[in-house]
Amino acid sequence: MQRPPRFTIPEGAHAGTLHRTHVSHIGFVVPDIAAAEAFYCRVLGMKRHSVLPDGRVRLGWGEGHHVIDLSEGDKTLAHYGFEVRDEGGLDGIRARLTEAGIPFDPLDPADVDEAVGTPDGIAVTDPDGTTVHFHSEVRRHGENSADTGRRPIKFQHTTVGTVDVAPMATFYTDVIGFRISDQLDDGNFAWLRSDRDHHTLAIVRVGRSGDIDHYSYDLSEWEDFKTWCDRLTELDVPVSWGPAGMAPETTSSCSSTTPRATTSNSPPRWRSSTTIASPTCRARGRRHPPLSTSGAARHRPGVESERTTSDDLGRISQGRP
């Protein structure tokens, strides 16, 4: 049998520079902020943190740094952010961006709400044209403070879609300082780490660039996975679930979607969705018993939000890792 060619995305000298850089927040442009806010509050248990002067709404766990930033317009990914706790991490990123000739701007301190100390940050455009935030330490006490049975405990990872995985992976490894945890042989999917989690960012070839493929939340424990399936069903969110057996990250997942975007002139082709997943491999993660005969749920449960093209209000499905 003739095997397809194997693509290996190389890592440069700066790969692995960051070890304590965590997923922070994500910004979406949505056609109906109120509908999106209602979904996240009703289904994920989020709370409104603030309304900014320009009309943006920030949601989160009720305290600590915000998680989602909603602004109004044609639906797309506005930005995604990382909290850099590595000592000298932001200065290192600035130096490497400068060395690579990539322009960047100071991050608006208002984007670093609940900062520990003086807020500091960088706004830079990734190779696909999406704004990325890297910022200093923020308070995250809201993630585990209360009501863990009715909402996820933390925003876990972001997966962006692209037409070409390699330039994005090279930007994040050679310039920013992430490492590649895994990649598919065909070069169409790469998982990158910047802390102890298996990946904080994944990049998948989907035929278009600069948009979200899906994003994920952690649940607190395995038992919550079953609770979430019941909870979403009670909320009339159609659910499907099962092991998401895409190597190298075997997951079990269930997902739901945000309200469908509706505009009169250009109906959006997709909506954000939320996937509950037995997650994401952690480099030192907990082990769980197999979920079913078709796959081993080896990782801590989580919730994923992803973009889909389906028309139903929500779904729980075998998700992409």
Which residues make up the interface to Fe ion (CB under 5 A)? 159, 216
Asked if 137 and 151 touch (Cβ cutoff 8 Å), the reply is no
User: Is 270 within 8 Å of 309 (Cβ atoms)?
Assistant: yes
The residue assigned the tokens 């960051």 is 18
In the complex with Fe ion, the residue whose CB is nearer, 40 or 189, is: 189
Contact 204, 161 (CB under 8 A): yes
57 vs 281, which CB is nearer to Fe ion?
281
Q: SS3 of 318, please?
A: coil
Nearer to Fe ion, 30 or 276 (CB): 276
**CB-nearest residue to Fe ion:** 216
Runs of H (alpha helix) within the chain: 33-43, 89-100, 165-170, 222-234
Q: What is the largest CA-CA distance in the chain?
A: 61
Choice between 47 and 320, CB closer to Fe ion:
320
First to last CA, the chain: 28
Give the sign of the dihedral formed by CA 114, CA 307, CA 172, CA 179.
positive
In the bound complex, what is the minimum distance in angstroms from residue 157's beta carbon to Fe ion?
6
